[in-house]
Amino acid sequence: MSLPLLLFIHNDPLVYLPIIAIHLLVFSSITVACNHFRRQPGYANVTGEEGETPSTVNWDYLRYALAVMIVPKLVGVLGVITLPAELMSGLVFVIVTVYSVSYILNRPFTSNHPWLDVLFLVLGGYVSGTSLIGAPLVIAVFARHVPRYQLRDTLFVLWFILVAIKMAAFISAGVDLQLRHQLWLLPAAAVGHVIGLRIHQYLLTTDSSRFMRIIGSVLLLISIVGLYRTLSM
């Protein structure tokens, strides 16, 4: 949700994507590592397999998804590096508009067929390559194939791998990684990460539709204004 807001400050995704990417690398790795070391024998009761401590990452499905997503991911990364900033900003606002409408209508993306799985993974890979906002498409597929106790960590590992690919492309292309800003932005991102994890736990125990409608309405307003500004330039 941060990228559309940041584009109001400076209308160039390449300025902010390295910052967001580094935050994702740091906090996804910390979250997965903490969950790994916190695993206790009693955790196996969640899966019904006594005496085992199953991984919180579904490596089999992760490998399959990466095989489907890797090519569109690379095409998206190439696009964000080579295409005009105004075009990429417009694409971001269009994608967020679609997401926001789905939130307002309480109709999240869902997949119920193998060909839809592939389509969503391909689109999610491309959108992730262009703007790091492909999560709703990817989650729609992973939620159908990955057990709930493995879902979050599997997605965090996926984000880490996809972002690492993007960062490698940025470095190769000589994109400014904005490293000088990380010292003061990482603490703020850490606070947001902790708050986000608590909100996530709360939403798991309550009806989140109202919260999502509010978020969707705010994002829709931001996207409409952002599209107008982009098209009027």
Q: In tens digits, what is the pLDDT along the chain, a chain of 233 residues?
A: 788 888 888 888 888 999 888 888 888 888 777 776 666 554 444 544 544 567 788 999 999 999 999 999 999 999 888 888 888 889 899 999 999 999 999 888 888 889 999 999 999 999 998 888 888 899 999 998 998 888 888 998 999 999 999 999 999 989 888 888 877 888 888 898 888 878 877 877 777 788 889 989 999 999 999 988 888 86
How many domains does the chain contain in total?
1
Tokens of 231: 């098209």
Q: What is the pTM (predicted TM-score) of this model?
A: 0.82
Those residues with Cβ within 8 angstroms of residue 111's Cβ, 6 or more apart along the chain or in another chain: 117, 120, 140, 141, 144
Query: From CA 220, how far away is CA 21, in angstroms rounded?
Result: 24
Q: Which of 163, 153, 105, 111 has the alpha carbon at shortest distance from 133?
A: 163
- Which residues 6+ apart lie within 8 Å of 215 measured at CB? 1, 100, 103
Is 54 within 8 Å of 47 (Cβ atoms)?
yes
Domain that holds residue 200: 2-231
